[in-house]
Amino acid sequence: MSIFNLQDKVVIITGGATGIGYSTAQLFARQGARLVVAGRRADACAVAVARLQALTEALAAPTDVQSEASVRQMVAAALARFGRLDILINNAGAIHRIDIPSATTDDWDRLVNPILRGTFYCCKHALPALLASGAGRIVNISSYLGWHGGQAGATAIYAAAKAGVIGLTKSMAVRYGPDNLRVNAICPALIPTDLNPDLFKGYPDREARARELAGGYPLRRLGTPEDVAYAALFLASDESQWITGATLFVDGGLTAK
């Protein structure tokens, strides 16, 4: 018996061309899903889809999740190609470290818009198709900072946006549970990707810096995009069919401290 089977499920993954999104796309493809890879950079989406097509049917959908019109077009492209939508992975986002006293309205928008507004737009426009599937699933990628708050003020706006994603997740889970739509969130801790290269800036020995950062985690290692992808697979699969409104920490034990 095969578990975590996504055979022929149609999945939209925002931020799907790189990092956590691309690792999730690869894993879902191996489980039989058909994919819509959405991202702001058309070239990156095209490269990702070219690689994924060796595993499954995939569509590149250049999308700016901050634009409602762009998100509407993304969902329409998915339905035009595949005729249905079963799973939405809201992974697109940004990170910018700045203290509140120094922050401007532009700094606020720079983080809140792609993270929280983008998740809202994607949920809003995917919702009719997900409900029509009869067993839709949404997995929102939040952050442990949306719950824990972090140890420094430089991520306060990011934390606020990610906390909003958790609130949206819970509210949608309650509202649409009777329609068999499951909505869950994943809260990763530090995952070194292209979104946070500054963590290694000024450190000539990247491996030594990674070991230093990992020392704060009970499991004594940093997370990988694959760690988050496997959590997303579980929440998107039938094996988690009585789980909704949950916040799953993928953080090496950090929030247990």
Q: Give how far Cα 237 sits from Cα of 30, 122, 232, Å.
A: 13, 20, 8
Query: Would you say 7 and 32 are in contact if contact means Cβ atoms under 8 Å apart?
Result: yes
Query: Would you say 244 and 180 are in contact if contact means Cβ atoms under 8 Å apart?
Result: no
What six digits make up the tokens of 201?
Answer: 């800036």
167/182 Cα distance (integer angstroms): 14
Rounded to the nearest 10 degrees, how much is the dihedral formed by the CA atoms of 75, 248, 5, 30?
Answer: 70
What six digits make up the tokens of 2?
Answer: 């095969």
What six digits make up the tokens of 198?
Answer: 């500054």
- Among candidate residues 246, 242, 216, the one with its CA nearest the CA of residue 231: 246
- Among candidate residues 175, 172, 107, the one with its CA nearest the CA of residue 140: 172
Catalytic positions, written as ranges: 158
* DSSP secondary structure of 128-191: HHHHHHSS-EEEEE--THHHH--SSGGGHHHHHHHHHHHHHHHHHHHHHGGGT-EEEEEEE---
72/102 Cα distance (integer angstroms): 35
